[in-house]
């Protein structure tokens, strides 16, 4: 394999991994569905559910 091709591809994979790792830690290591009030099949519109880490429809459950 051509090293001129391999270096940018490897760098791209590393950048993607670090981005996902950063997003995971930014959310505190938890998925949104763990505390989303729409965490049920009828209300949630997120196709990534239950592994979503970003969601425009997310609403925090109110803890009492």
Output DSSP code: residue 49: T
pTM for the model: 0.46
Question: Taking 60 as the threshold, does the pLDDT of residue 64 lie above it?
Answer: no
pLDDT tens digits along 8-57: 999 999 999 888 878 766 656 578 888 899 888 888 888 888 888 788 88
Alpha helices in 1-64 (DSSP H): 3-26
Residue 10: what pLDDT? 93
Q: Let me know: does 61 contact 35? Beta carbons within 8 Å.
A: yes
Q: How far apart are CA 45 and CA 24, in angstroms?
A: 21
Q: How far apart are CA 18 and CA 6, in angstroms?
A: 18
Q: How many CB atoms are closer than 10 A to CB 33?
A: 19
């Amino acid at each position: 394999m051509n090293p001129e091709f391999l270096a940018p591809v490897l760098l791209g994979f590393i950048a993607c991994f670090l981005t996902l790792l950063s997003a995971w830690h930014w959310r505190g290591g938890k998925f949104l569905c763990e505390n989303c009030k729409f965490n049920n099949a009828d209300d949630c519109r997120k196709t990534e559910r239950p592994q979503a880490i970003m969601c425009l429809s997310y609403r925090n459950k109110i803890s009492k």
